[in-house]
Structure 1
Amino acid sequence: MSHNPFQPRLVSRRKMLAGLGALGAVSAFTVAGCSTPAPSGGPDTTGSSETDSIKFYGNVLGEESQKAAWQGAIDGWESRSGKSVKPVVYPYDQASTQLALAARSGDFGGVGQGGPWQVLVPTGILADLSELASHMSLPLKIIESLRIDGKLHFLPLNASGIGLVGDGRVADEAGLKDGASVEEFAAALERIKQQDKKLIPYAAVTKNPDLKDAVHWMWSWGSEVVTVDQRCTLGDAGSVAAITWYKELQDAGLTKSGVARTDARILFARGQAVLYDDAPLAAKFVRTNGGSAALATAIRPLQRPSVDGRPSVNRFWGSGLFCSKGKGEATSKDFISFVAGDVKAATSLYEEAALAPADARVAAKVAGLDKDVFQNTFRTAIADHARAAAWDRLPSVSQIDTAIGEGVAVIMAGQTGVQAGLNSLKRKIDDILAQDV
């Protein structure tokens, strides 16, 4: 029987070991589309049970931008259920390591937030969340792309993408607008540079750990990077053209070398950069990084420019939950259901962390969300043009993202040519993908 590329396979023990050894955090998912259908069969709850407490693995309780909202959600569930949550907090970039250690020691039991759930799939310790999803109004496309052998181990809570945001006042003056070609985009950046030499027209990511941002530009030029049947295309004409263009922007002073996402947020908030790439939390980051009230009002999402008439495209971004099966599974699922569906919790996450719920029915009940110009424009300009990477559901997702970032960083630093650098990067990713056989 031929393998359906949209139906991921259970991976080998070799892949499992590689995945458990990966470092970094997974890119999560989001889409706009139709509602989730009921699965053909309910989840396997054999041996599932209630417990008086569950562990909650993740980084959000350690991040100022989300801590209060998540603590409110946890408090709400504890009050309603009479049970308790025991946080296991780790930094974002230690997610793979911490989850792998918990899985190896047999201590993983409860709910995980964000993080590379994929590395845990081969261990068989994750529960199937299909039944929970069937009662929610979630995007069909992403739910189906997340299934592995018919099971859904990860439930998206937020749905968006990584896209361009900018100061709308300067963007208007320079002629930056939705539907532009990359040529028109670059010309607008040149106008900004000519008008004010001190401004960084586009604070694009040019160093790790975020240079996986190069992916959406390579997609724009028609390179898949990795196909759904796990074939790496780096070094093809599209990827070479994209990275050549990306480096030319830097060489021309339209972007700046040595910029990571956190740097770009600060540069933008300070009014030193006009554009950068971010998630829908960008408007919040303006305030938390000391940006002016005028900039907070003027910030605007911008549809990524297209190449040769191809559709605009961004990489999916979001967050979600997963849990262990067996002991405590019923309690963990009740917690996930509460966080995903409780309007008070969703409103808190929206108000405190600028995260809109993925469940359309819940989103419709969040006060003020329908009038939030930035969030709604972000959805139409960015999220509606977002897609998941083919490797986002593989245990090696973090390894591949890290390899891409490192490989492109070498090119951006001028340590190798574009073609040679991408050819070398292709060999590294081929080696990672070969672990799946």
Structure 2
Amino acid sequence: MSHNAPRQAMTRRGVLAGLGALGLSSAFGLTACSTSAPGGAASSGDASEIDTIKLYGNALGEDSQKAAWQAVIAGWEKKSGKKVKPVIYPYDQASTQLALAAKSGSFNGVAQGPWQLLVPMGILADLSDLAEGMDLPRAVLDGLRLDGKLYMLPLTASGIGLVCDGRIADETGLKSGMTVEEFATALEKIKRQDPDLVPYAAVTKNPDLKDAVHWMWGWGSEVVTKDLKCTIGDSESVAAVEWYKELQDAKLTKSGVARTDARIMFARGQAVMYDDAPLANTFVKSNGGSAALQAAVRPLRRPTVQSLPSYNRFWGAGLSCSAGKGEKTSRDFISYAAGDLGAATALYEQSALPPADKNVADRIDALRKDTFQTSFADAVAEHARLGAWDTLSTTTQIDTAIGEGVASILAGQVGVQSGLNALRKKVDDALEQG
């Protein structure tokens, strides 16, 4: 299952548009800070070691991830004798801060965050060789490569999938492997048994309505093809969104729900099912869910249309690094974070993030005994897929457009066909810029 997006020519216009979509003014100029032609990896011929590398990201500034990353850094520093200098910023400022560092020529080290906007500048190292010794999901690697190069090594690789209260699922016949018709019937049964329950707290408003994509895929629409042509508005995507809206009209889902709302509703026992990442069981706890519900949380494989496969949108995180000066040191840190058993165990035990490398995951005793994570891997992660636009500098702009377009349809502001036709034009423009 390869969804490797071919590279379009990376123009200055495309770079600026991508930065604008990610929170920067399109008037923001970029200085010539690349060591190769735009769109390619910087040369690693002058790769060297340094005593201290920078780590750009938000993880060390968030309570849920801070302790885990402190353990990773401490472990690597002890092993390597080198130092890490954190450059911490909020998640929503990642694009701005990375672009500023690149513009100033000071970007040097390892980065978490939107690596896509740095690719056109030609300053990232190709990490393909690091992936060769790892057991990573082939579909994920295929979807992340650009011209055969891998600019971000995934530390965790999963998907956004369905999770449910297993107790109610057993009572109503809700299970993996259903058709969409059987799925809707199960939701109707839940509603009849308890009209106060929301059977499926699906995302029905932004910022998370890019969730509509995995349903379009399930109906057979590519959304964006490998040669970067948008198919939104085809009969398959129309049928998917019509079905999604029918669920809302029948009150099997609820209008005006974002992912954060769904997490709270699910934890409080107000909803039976919703879509989330593999952190779903931890969100139940953090949102005050009962111990009984925590024990009953169960992932489900997304229902299918006719004989077509179902998909989940990729969810994961990884690390990129600058090429040239200090590259060897940065690559050593990335290799350690991704492949060292102690580092991977810290990330899993303290942040509930299972490692992408199956070779490492299989060696973590607690993870092997974690029934939620192992079942999530089977039901969700194994069916995760990247969009062909996920490697473009305008990926956020495209996801935002999709969310806004589908939101207007669900709100009844525009018809399904006309709304998707208008959405296709916006996506085509963003694809051209990216």
Query: How does the TM-score come out when normalised to structure 1?
Result: 0.91
Describe the SS at the equivalent of 2:199. Answer: strand
Q: For 2:11 and 2:239, locate their aligned partners in 1 and report how far apart those are by CA, in whole Å.
A: 35
Distance of aligned partners of 1:221 and 1:175 in 2 relative to their CA distance in 1, 3 Å threshold: same
Shift in Å at residue 164 of structure 1? 0.1
* Cα distance between partner residues in 2 of 1:62 and 1:258: 30
Q: Aligned partners of 1:308, 1:429: CA distance in 2, in Å? A: 28
Separation of aligned partners in 1, 2:409 and 2:70: 42
2:232 and 2:148 mapped to 1: Cα distance?
A: 30
**Is contact 2:143–2:387 with CA below 8 Å preserved after alignment?**
no
Q: Distance in 2 between matches of 1:136 and 1:362?
A: 9
For 1:230-379, what aligned pairs fall within 5 Å after superposition?
A: 230-379=228-377
Cα distance between partner residues in 2 of 1:425 and 1:59: 32
**What is the distance in 2 between the residues matched to 1:10 and 1:110?**
26
Residue type at the aligned position of 1:78 = E
How far is the alpha carbon of 1:44 from its aligned partner? 4.3
Counterpart-to-counterpart distance in 2, 1:384 and 1:317:
12
Name the aligned partner's letter for residue 60 of structure 2. L
Q: CA deviation at 1:24?
A: 6.8
Provide the identity percentage: 68
Query: Match of 1:33?
Result: none
Alignment check: 8 A CA contact 1:189 1:201 kept:
yes
Residue matched to 2:12: 13
Number of matched pairs: 416
Match of 1:174 in 2: 172
In structure 2, give the amino acid aligned to 1:258: G
Amino acid aligned to 2:308: R
Aligned position for 2:67: 68
Name structure 2 gaps, 5 residues minimum. Answer: 25-40
Give the aligned partner of residue 46 of structure 1: 45
User: Structure 1: where are the runs of 5+ without partners?
Assistant: 26-41
Q: Within 2, Cα distance between the matches of 1:142 and 1:246? A: 27
Bigger CA drift: 92-101 or 186-195?
A: 92-101
Aligned to 2:56: 57
Secondary structure of the residue aligned to 1:201 is coil
Separation (CA, whole Å) in 1 of partners of 2:412 and 2:64: 36
1:85 corresponds in structure 2 to 84
Q: Given that residues 43 and 151 in structure 1 are in contact (C-alpha distance below 8 angstroms), is that contact kept between their aligned partners in structure 2?
A: no
Deviation, structure 1 residue 348: 1.2
What is the CA–CA distance in structure 2 between the aligned matches of 1:230 and 1:325, rounded to whole Å?
28
Contact 1:20 1:120 (8 Å CA) reproduced = no
Distance 1:144 1:313, change over 3 A: closer
Can you list the C-alpha shifts for 1:326-351, whole angstroms capped at 9, x where unaligned? 12111111110110111111111111
The letter of the residue matching 1:77 is W
SS in 1 for 2:110: strand
Q: Secondary structure at the match of 2:320?
A: strand
2:343 maps to a residue whose letter is A
C-alpha separation between the residues in 1 aligned to 2:310 and 2:223? Answer: 16
1:172 CA displacement: 1.0
Partner in structure 2 of residue 107 of structure 1: 106
Query: Within 1, Cα distance between the matches of 2:90 and 2:61?
Result: 7
1:26-70 CA distance string (max 9 Å, x none): xxxxxxxxxxxxxxxx99422222222221112222322222211
More displaced stretch, 314-323 vs 57-66: 57-66
DSSP-derived class of the 2:84 partner = strand
- The answer to which of 76-85 and 256-265 deviates more is 76-85
Is 2:391 aligned against 1:393?
A: yes
Whether the 8 Å contact between 2:43 and 2:324 is mirrored in structure 1 is: no
How far apart, in 2, do the equivalents of 1:179 and 1:139 lie?
21
Name which of 191, 201, 216 aligns with 1:193: 191
Please list the CA deviations of residues 106-158 of structure 1 after superposition, one character each: whole Å capped at 9, or x if unmatched.
22211111x21111111011011122222222233322332223321110111
Q: Sort the Cα spacing of 1:44 and 1:347 in 2 relative to 1 into closer, same or farther, 3 A.
A: same
Does the CA-based 8 Å contact 2:339-2:360 persist in structure 1? yes
Separation in 2, partners of 1:434, 1:7: 13
Change (3 A) 1:255 1:21: same
Shift, 1:204, TM fit:
0.6
Aligned to 2:154: 156
- Provide the secondary structure at the position in 2 that maps to 1:159: strand
Q: Does 1:141 align with 2:142?
A: no
CA contact 1:24–1:398 (8 Å) conserved in 2: no
Q: Is the 8 A contact 2:216 2:223 kept in 1?
A: yes
Asked if structure 1 preserves the Cα contact closer than 8 Å seen for 2:42 and 2:323, the reply is: no
Structure-2 separation of matches of 1:179 and 1:283: 22
* Alpha carbons 2:42, 2:123 under 8 Å: kept: no
**1:13: Cα distance to partner?**
2.6
- CA separation in 2, counterparts of 1:301 and 1:352? 21
1:5 Cα deviation after fit: 6.0
After TM superposition, give the deviation of residue 302 of structure 1 in Å.
0.6
| Correspondences of 1:217-228 after superposition (within 5 Å) | 217-228=215-226
Counterpart Cα distance in 2 of 1:181 and 1:272: 25
User: Secondary structure, in 3 states, of the residue corresponding to 1:339?
Assistant: helix
Q: Which whole-Å CA distance do the structure 2 matches of 1:420 and 1:91 have between them?
A: 37
Structure 2: distance between partners of 1:18 and 1:43? 22
Residue 279 of structure 2 contacts residue 352 of structure 2 at CA under 8 Å; is this kept in 1?
yes
Would the aligned equivalents of 2:162 and 2:299 in 1 still touch at CA under 8 Å?
A: yes
Aligned mates of 1:243, 1:276 — CA distance in 2: 17
Distance (Å, rounded) in 1 between the aligned partners of 2:142 and 2:4: 11
| Alpha-carbon contact 2:4-2:143 (below 8 Å) kept | no
Contact 2:4 2:142 in 1 (8 A): no
Q: 2:408 maps to which residue?
A: 410
User: Given residue 280 of structure 2, which amino acid in structure 1 is its aligned partner?
Assistant: A
Structure 1 residues 325 and 371: CA distance shift in structure 2, 3 A? same
Counterpart residue number, 2:30: none
Q: 1:347 to 1:188 in 2, by over 3 A?
A: same
In 2, are the aligned partners of 1:22 and 1:96 still within 8 Å (CA)? no
Aligned-partner Cα distance in 2 for 1:251–1:144: 38
